[in-house]
Structure 1
Amino acid sequence: MLFLKRLLDFYINSSIHVALSVYALVRMTGFLFQITIIEACASFAFFGTIVGYNFVKYDALARTQKLQMRTQLKAIALLSFLSLLMAVYCFLWLERTTQLIALLFFGITLLYTLPFFPNRKNARNWAGVKIYIVALCWVGVTLFLPIINAEIPLTNYVFLVAIQRFILIFVLILIFEIIDLKWDDPHLKTVPQQIGVERTKLAGSLLLVGFLGLAFLDANFNSQTMILKSGVAFTVFLFLLFANQKQSKYYSSFWAESIPVLWWVLLLLFG
């Protein structure tokens, strides 16, 4: 059991799980927009997420020498290096325009992590903006990147899906912010820090209602799609409802983060 726990911890701490969620959303985009050649985009997003998230999580601590290179961290460093090589390989298969956009998101990741401006903290520590940066990056990588790579026009439907996806990711991040409330720096001004846990849950619930309401604007609206989105929204709502500072790290980092994968699987089975 101890071995399995360590394996699960490595799976989560090395960002493989969050990368799988990103991969699932890219593949979902392929399903929704009937993109047949999407593996290069999906793989680039998967390996790029491992590199980006591990860079964000461990770079600052490594630079200040507060992080000792334990065995697991050495394994994470090796995985990140191999993932970087794979991300570069997949990057070469993308269209030129897509490559430029991918570089833009890479720049945002650097801005999010490194303090580029004198006497300024990195973007991760800019009060109140972290959640918006992360949600926008997720939407950009999982939706706009594969759509632009496939040269699909940016129609109203694309932006409708983008808003829905932004809402879902935003609410999922709220779950993380509630659970991390006791560890987060008060200067971050996360949503729970600014309006409290109960109001955060209320705001998240209203956003999920909006998520479902937007489904009626879809020209291809049907009852099966509505049932599927309702199931996903209800699952997110339950995770939000029971989120608190006493929950284990697996509650958010494994279970809540599995929801995009669940959504993709359900879409493949019943979409």
Structure 2
Amino acid sequence: MANGTVALHNDRPLLGIGFMLIAGLLFVLLDSMAKALGQDYSSVQVVWARFTGHIAVIAVYFLYRGGAGKKLLISESIPGQFLRGVMLLAASTFAYAALAQLPLLQVHVVNFTSPLLVTLLAVPLLGEALDIKRGAAVLLGFIGVIIAIGPTDWRSDPVLLYPFGMAFCFSLYQLSTRRFGRSDAPLTSLFYAGLAGALISSLVVPFFWTPIATHDLWLFLGIGVLGAGSQFGLIQAMRFAPASLASPFLYAQLIWSSLFGFLLFGDVPSLNTYLGAILIVAAGLYIATRRR
């Protein structure tokens, strides 16, 4: 039965691509809300809203499912699932701190290096091999990062390091997803990732709390819903299409982040940003589609 289910899901590639495109749009909307809130609130408070809203949405769904919902709480490795959540929390904290001060597209371009970092880190952490061609693709991608960021003084502008912290933590999140809970239901992984982030951020957010203005309440509520929705869309995309087919469509975020960055925040990226992005995306596409 399981094999038949997989075959059925993989036989619906257009649906998987559709979910990936929707997930990419939701991620950019999520980050746009985070950037807007980051002008007046601490990134810690924004992260807290993202994860508590996430876990609230999933908890309501579990309650709706009743007994079936309780079964979704069973995991082959709860500590491993919490480790995934911690990595996602760290990535989100770096991301929102960066978004508060940097253009939307620039942060997204650096985050596109996470597949490159996954390829490198999988060698020591998971014992995977790295051939010369894939190694060259990783090198090409990092050259793209240098071009996209341009000459800069890291010491005088340390906020430029935040997107790299985000990409590094997100790559560890992906690797821990490979390692833990591989037989868990997608909603199980979604629940525990949100729970870890909600618990930890709730412990520290009182030290960074700013009273929420009435006109910002919808943003705080929306960021949690989008957090859960974007992750669910990503999971569904992987269910209905092979990762090598669906993943490249996440690069459509380049279009959305360029558009929303200009319309909402007046960001006008430089030509170097786009040239670097092309190299990073090309490297990521090669790694995603190359058979090992």
Give the TM-score, by structure 1 length: 0.38
Larger RCO, structures 1/2 (Cα 8 Å, 6+ apart): 2
